[in-house]
Homo-oligomer: A and B are copies of this chain.
Amino acid sequence: MLKQNNHSNRRIVLASRPKGAPVPDNLRLETADLPHPDDRQVLLRTVYLSLDPYMRGRMSDAESYSAPVAIGEVMGAGTVSRVVESKHPDYKTGDWVLNYGGWQDYSLADGKALKKLDDDLLAHPSWALGVLGMPAFTAYMGLMDIGQPKTGETLVVAAATGAVGSVVGQVAKLKGCHTVGIAGGQDKCRYAEEVLGFDTCIDRRADDFAQRLAKACPDGIDIYYENVGGAVFDAVMPLLNTSARVPLCGLIAQYNMQALPEGPDRLSLLMGLLLRKRIRIQGFIIAQDYAHHYDEFIQVMAPWVKQGKIQMREDIVDGLENAQQAFIGLLQGKNFGKLVVRVGNDSL
């Protein structure tokens, strides 16, 4: 049974900055008073909380694309919530909304930070955090705007059963690409091929991973959608074709890195490769680079989801108190599908 109640607010704050991989002590569950909405604010009860790899960056105080979470501050997160009290004319008790409520039972928001869920989503509110939300939007824009898939090209993406990778592979397939996924373990690989429709999925844990990848890409790689880095990128580099495109939205394999690896220094190797092969690599952050394309994304993706052309497996963990461990597992690839914490009940 979910522990949320209506007279206090449990929240998970950043207790200390991780050194390398986060450990449970870096996060602390604490209980605070229920907040009260001011004029033009609403009080929201979190139902679903999205856990995503980018949150690792915000736990560090190294320079990054968004401000770090302060020590003692509630961890940020996209959430699907219900309005429990409204002092805003546009929202009423019971409304389902998408907000950036953070790792907690209750949050306050003004109208600007809120978005009512479309009717389509009411049957599956958690999809607003996945297949019709930020991860799928990230997958779609990076692939379409930077990747520019063409019929017959070969696309490779890692974390192929994850929230981003699964959509990258399915959209690329719809665009006529030969799609090669990479995932951790046989179960995920089978799912990627049988359910998500990847032409092949390679187990990144295999001893001969690089050889298998090369064999799965007999015509080289035209689009490598980069969300992991590390050993996967090492295996991808020699396979990149002339005029390849590399949309870069994440580097989960290096988020916990505390020092650069030993040499030789391959920076010049990479630059030389980009020149000789005329390759484009481009980093992007969905909210900053593509927010104005959101409606376009939904208009394309919602019908695909409705028609079953795009699927996203969800890995739902019950209880805010289990969020820390779930997040630590996410960085280790333990989740199988889009990781969501069910913080509260659907019903009011």
Contacts of A282 in B (CB 8 A): 274, 278-282
Q: Does A289 make an interface contact (CB < 8 A)? A: yes
Given contacts A280-B282, A282-B280, A283-B276, are A248 and B271 in contact (CB under 8 A)?
Answer: yes
Assembled-state Cα–Cα distance A227/B278 (Å): 14
Give the copy number.
2
In the bound complex, do residue B268 and residue A269 qualify as a contact, i.e. CB atoms below 8 Å apart? no
In the bound complex, do residue B229 and residue A277 qualify as a contact, i.e. CB atoms below 8 Å apart? no
In the bound complex, do residue A265 and residue B268 qualify as a contact, i.e. CB atoms below 8 Å apart? no
Chain B proximity mask over A144-183: 1 for CB below 8 Å, otherwise 0: 0000000000000000000000000000000000000000
Range class of the A interface residue count = 35 or more
Given contacts A65-B242, A242-B65, are A269 and B278 in contact (CB under 8 A)?
Answer: no
Q: Does A208 make an interface contact (CB < 8 A)? A: no
Of listed A266, A279, A289, residue having the most chain B CB within 10 A? A266
Query: Smallest CB-CB separation from A263: which chain B residue?
Result: B263
Query: Smallest CB-CB separation from A250: which chain B residue?
Result: B275
Query: Smallest CB-CB separation from A260: which chain B residue?
Result: B264
Assembled-state Cα–Cα distance A63/B277 (Å): 10
Q: Does A267 make an interface contact (CB < 8 A)? A: yes
Q: Does A31 make an interface contact (CB < 8 A)? A: no
Which of B248, B264, B271, B272 lies in contact with A275, CB distance below 8 A?
B248
Which positions 229-265 of chain A face chain B at CB distance < 8 Å?
229-230, 233, 242-243, 248-251, 254, 257, 259-265
Given contacts A65-B278, A277-B283, A281-B280, are A251 and B272 in contact (CB under 8 A)?
Answer: yes
Query: Smallest CB-CB separation from A266: which chain B residue?
Result: B267
Given contacts A65-B242, A263-B260, A264-B263, are A283 and B274 in contact (CB under 8 A)?
Answer: yes
Chain B proximity mask over A283-305: 1 for CB below 8 Å, otherwise 0: 11100110000000000000000
Which of B233, B259, B261 lies in contact with A271, CB distance below 8 A?
B233
Q: Does A270 make an interface contact (CB < 8 A)? A: yes
In the bound complex, do residue A260 and residue B251 qualify as a contact, i.e. CB atoms below 8 Å apart? no
Contacts of A266 in B (CB 8 A): 260, 265-267
In the bound complex, do residue A261 and residue B260 qualify as a contact, i.e. CB atoms below 8 Å apart? no
Which of B63, B242, B248, B260 lies in contact with A274, CB distance below 8 A?
B248
In the bound complex, do residue A271 and residue B289 qualify as a contact, i.e. CB atoms below 8 Å apart? no
Q: Does A347 make an interface contact (CB < 8 A)? A: no
List 8 contacting pairs A-B, 8 Å CB cutoff, sorted by A: A64-B276, A65-B276, A233-B271, A250-B275, A254-B268, A278-B289, A280-B283, A282-B282
Q: A248-B275, A278-B285 given. 16 additional CB < 8 A pairs?
A: A65-B276, A230-B268, A248-B271, A249-B275, A251-B271, A251-B272, A254-B271, A261-B263, A262-B264, A262-B265, A266-B266, A267-B269, A267-B270, A276-B283, A278-B282, A278-B283
* A-B complex: 3 closest residue pairs judged by Cβ atoms: A263-B263, A260-B264, A280-B282
